[in-house]
């Protein structure tokens, strides 16, 4: 079966850097997504990794190691508006997207 693990909660200070880890075990692999979801809203796309390495996009970066079944989302220069749930999701060989339980990030002033 599918198994995606990420921490339940994290707290960081405004202006700091935070790394949210995600490990996965899935039936095949066609890419890993990171989504941001504010309470009561639909998820919004942050990043997509299908090859090993680091993808940088502004304050957000995402890393993937397929051999280790591991990814992380790096958020720099944290802002209060970054307080949200961050969802790791894997696109498996059946072309289905399986979500992790999400990491609730709280940014403190």
Q: Which residues of the shown chain bind another protein in the complex (CB under 8 A)?
A: 30-31, 33, 35, 40-45, 48, 50, 87, 91, 95-102
CA distance linking residue 23 with residue 103, whole number of Å:
13
Please, what is the minimum distance in Å from the beta carbon of residue 75 to another protein? 19
Q: Which segments of the chain does DSSP mark as H helices, in order?
A: none
Name which of 41 and 52 has its Cβ closer to another protein. 41
Please, what is the minimum distance in Å from the beta carbon of residue 86 to another protein? 11
Closest of 92, 104, 103 to residue 5, by C-alpha: 103
Residue 42's φ and ψ, nearest 5 degrees, are -75, 155
Please, what is the minimum distance in Å from the beta carbon of residue 82 to another protein? 19
Name which of 69 and 102 has its Cβ closer to another protein. 102
Name which of 70 and 98 has its Cβ closer to another protein. 98
CA distance linking residue 96 with residue 35, whole number of Å:
16
């Amino acid at each position: 079966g599918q198994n995606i693990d990420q921490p339940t909660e994290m707290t960081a200070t405004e202006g700091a850097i935070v790394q949210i880890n995600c490990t996965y075990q899935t039936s095949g692999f066609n890419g890993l997504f990171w989504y941001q979801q504010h309470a009561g809203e639909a998820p919004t796309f942050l990043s997509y990794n299908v090859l090993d390495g680091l993808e940088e996009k502004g304050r957000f970066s995402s890393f993937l190691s397929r051999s280790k079944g591991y990814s992380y989302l790096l958020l720099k220069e944290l802002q209060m508006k970054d307080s949200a749930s961050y969802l790791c999701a894997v696109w498996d060989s059946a072309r289905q997207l399986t979500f992790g339980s999400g990491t609730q990030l709280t940014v403190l002033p």
